[in-house]
Structure 1
Amino acid sequence: MENVYLDNAATTCVRKEVIDKMQKALAECYGNPSSTHSFGRTAKTAIETARKTIAKYLNAHPSEIIFTSGGTEADNMILRCAVRDLDVETIITTKIEHHAVLHTVEDLEKEGKIKVHYVNLDEFGNPVIEHLKVLLQQDDSKKLVSLMHINNEIGNKIDIDAVCGICKENEALIHSDTVQSIGHYIWDVKKTPIDFMTAAAHKFHGPKGIGFAYLRRNSGLKPMISGGSQERGFRAGTESYHNIIGLEEAFVQSYDNLAVERAKVLALKEYFIERLKQEIPGVKFNGYSADNHNSTYTLVNVNLPVSPEKALMLLFNLDVKGIACSKGSACQSGSNLGSHVLNQVLTDDDLQKPSLRFSFSIYNTIEELDYTVSVIKEFIEK
């Protein structure tokens, strides 16, 4: 096979329906949404319709949806503004969060603005809830908890309803990086008392460079970017109209087809896991990624029985064979330090072996998975 794309946790291909909507928007609706003439009003109306559409699916209020350039901006904005505007003194998180959260929290601590506490992890990489309770109750400081719903590397899925409940019981704010979750799981912010969460369109077959932040109404957060009055005054700068339209279409397509598409992707993941077990003796699955109750249906993280010397060529060999996957998150592919997630989860012995993340979408096939397993098997055996 010439091309097998199994890196959907990094980014997904854009749906045809999304491309069609965006092309139409680029060609026909080029007015500045802040302009008062008909061209501007048309663009502004479409943006507000998109906001209402997204809010409806989340059972949120439209004013709680703020369009951003993606998940990283949204995470930074929420964490920094919470410290600045809400008198947050302590942030509680884990050492396996996305770097958009980890680095922001580290910077805030270095700037002397907060204290940071890290929740202990169990052997699979899940936050230990009892330790979270201890951290929430150890002093009277204003606290914000930041725990991602689905880990982008090992796929672990936390009980976000339970975490939110614990935070509310202890009068703490709760933020979750939900970039791997939005578009793949149903959310109802009326039932799940979350304060802040984030999304990126390119994780669910939308365009890159657009996402949104969910900010619970009357949160008290103030703008981080100064300028015009766009996004109801919260995020200055001319709106990326065509990207917002693409985000809306991708969002609607994902949720309107969720049951069917989730079943297909889950079947692919289950098939891939079984084929690896059959063909690769000694294969292991990192975190909860092979447990479909406790992990997302979209990815699996595999630890392979390959020597450290030979492992150096594994990803290159897969790429030569036309297979795209990841040794960690795409955000850290240029790092020589290895995965900060796996460094927290794996034993020293398993860290010496290569781990790869394979992530799936509706556009993958059984034939592609068979081919991928055969290439891995051939590499290990030769």
Structure 2
Amino acid sequence: MPSISTKGKNMPESPIRKLVPFAEKAYKANKKVYHLNIGQPDIKSPQAAMDAVANHNLETLAYSRSEGSEEYREKIAAYYNRNHIPVSANDIIVTTGGSEALLFAMGTIADQGDEIIIPEPFYANYNGFAMASGVNIVPVISKIEDNFALPPIEEFEKLITPKTKAIIICNPGNPTGYLYSKDEIQKLASIVKKHDLYLVSDEVYREFTYDGLEHYSILQEESLADNGIIIDSVSKRYSMCGARIGCLVSRNKDVIATALKFAQARLSPPTFAQIASEAALETPKNYFDEVIVEYKERRDTLINNLKEIPGVKVGVPKGAFYCIVELPVKNSDAFAQWLLEEFDLDGETIMVAPAAGFYSSKGMGLNQIRIAYVLNKESLIKAVEILKVALQEYSN
């Protein structure tokens, strides 16, 4: 029988999706499952985006340019400039989701065996993208006790070697909800300039900040013109996860020229999705105002209720719509599977994402889960009630 590649064998499973077979069994057993495991918002996509596709006048569904249509990139650039991020259409490559933008970025800046430093816990698929790119992730640990704040710069410097090519951050963070301050971004800018590295910032949750805090982009730092790369996506901003449209943004012309070669190899991003995403850029500000109020209320509801469960510790997110929760269990993988296979409260249970998959350090996150607060407040209250009863029963 032909063999499977070592790379394929080592490719990590998604901690977000690997429990799906157990959820399907729960459905067949007529259990209601509250999905806290995946960041699929229940917010409606902008009507303008849906209408743009429904009312198109295309006669041929043709390729677009590999870097995305010029009209769409011009409008993305205008969006960034409104957000005090000075870029032009030529600094942007439209990608098939933020995932492809990350793959293009890794392929552009790192060779086989090179290293990228990432504060952990981090978005689980960074592990997969690194494996696919032949890149080694070097974690620098942020702690729930510090609410996952940026680790001291000295901790980064200890890890820099001749093979280090970049630091990657997610801001606001998935899975922690941490929002990096302007001061923290400037500290990172200083270290990447000092060591001639790239700073890659995954900013797909830019709009979602709370408590009067504002997002500060790496490309608001003029000093990062050659060192900064933004990863972005329409998925969460406009609740358009299925569009699979993102972009890579950099003022470094060599980065854009190289990433374009990767874009040419996959031909072009999807045409209909670009039409929808272009229309979504016309979404009025009150759409986000209402969404942010809703998410803040969901966050407060979730966090306040979680804090009432004995033995539970939770980081308080300042952005995005995720939090890491530490549980009084030894293995959250086993607990998450047990929730779906063996437990229910009046015919209902919950599905969570075990947090170990959001770390690359072995043994980290084993007693943690990630919760996505993308359900309405009533469902979140019920889900936390189920979690509380489940923990009591599990400990017995």
TM over 0.5: yes
CA contact (8 A) 2:349 2:386 kept: no
CA distance in 1, matches of 2:279, 2:354: 29
The match for 2:166 is 144
Give the 3-state SS of the residue equivalent to 2:253 in structure 1. Answer: coil
* CA distance 1:195–1:252, shift in 2 (3 Å): farther
CA RMSD in angstroms, aligned pairs only: 4.1
The match for 1:218 is 253
CA contact (8 A) 1:89 1:143 kept: yes
CA contact (8 A) 2:116 2:167 kept: yes
The match for 2:272 is 242
The match for 1:73 is 100
TM-score normalised by L of structure 2: 0.68
The match for 1:375 is 386
* CA distance 1:74–1:264, shift in 2 (3 Å): same
CA distance in 2, matches of 1:96, 1:162: 20
Gaps of 5+ in 2: 1-30, 210-214
* CA distance 1:247–1:305, shift in 2 (3 Å): same
CA distance in 2, matches of 1:346, 1:90: 20
CA contact (8 A) 2:118 2:139 kept: yes
CA contact (8 A) 1:3 1:323 kept: yes
Percent identity, aligned pairs only, is 15
Give the 3-state SS of the residue equivalent to 1:270 in structure 2. Answer: helix
Deviation at 1:68, TM superposition (A): 0.7
Listed as ranges, the matches of 1:33-112 within 5 Å are 47-48=72-73, 50-58=75-83, 59=85, 60-83=87-110, 91-94=116-119, 96-106=121-131, 109=134
Deviation at 1:52, TM superposition (A): 3.8
Q: Which moved more, 1:204-213 or 1:316-325?
A: 316-325
The match for 2:229 is 196
1:12 to 41, 53, 57: 41
CA contact (8 A) 1:96 1:344 kept: no
Gaps of 5+ in 1: 111-115, 228-232, 330-337
Give the 3-state SS of the residue equivalent to 1:202 in structure 2. Answer: coil
TM-score normalised by L of structure 1: 0.70
Instruction: Count residues in correspondence.
Output: 338
* CA distance 1:322–1:66, shift in 2 (3 Å): farther
Deviation at 1:130, TM superposition (A): 0.9
* CA distance 1:152–1:96, shift in 2 (3 Å): same
Deviation at 1:74, TM superposition (A): 0.7
Deviation at 1:6, TM superposition (A): 3.8
The match for 1:281 is 310
Alignment of 1:206 with 2:243, yes or no, is: no
Listed as ranges, the matches of 1:286-365 within 5 Å are 289-290=315-316, 292=317, 295-296=318-319, 298-306=321-329, 312-316=337-341, 317=343, 325-328=351-354, 338-341=356-359, 346=364, 351=366, 353=367, 355-361=368-374, 364-365=375-376
* CA distance 1:203–1:170, shift in 2 (3 Å): same
Listed as ranges, the matches of 1:155-174 within 5 Å are 155-158=177-180, 159-174=184-199
Deviation at 1:358, TM superposition (A): 2.0
Deviation at 1:64, TM superposition (A): 1.7
CA contact (8 A) 1:25 1:245 kept: yes
* CA distance 1:242–1:271, shift in 2 (3 Å): same
Deviations 1:68-89 (A, max 9, x none): 11122111101111236xx996
CA contact (8 A) 1:22 1:242 kept: no
* CA distance 1:359–1:21, shift in 2 (3 Å): same
Deviations 1:299-353 (A, max 9, x none): 2222333576766422454699566643247xxxxxxxx5242966857xxx3x5
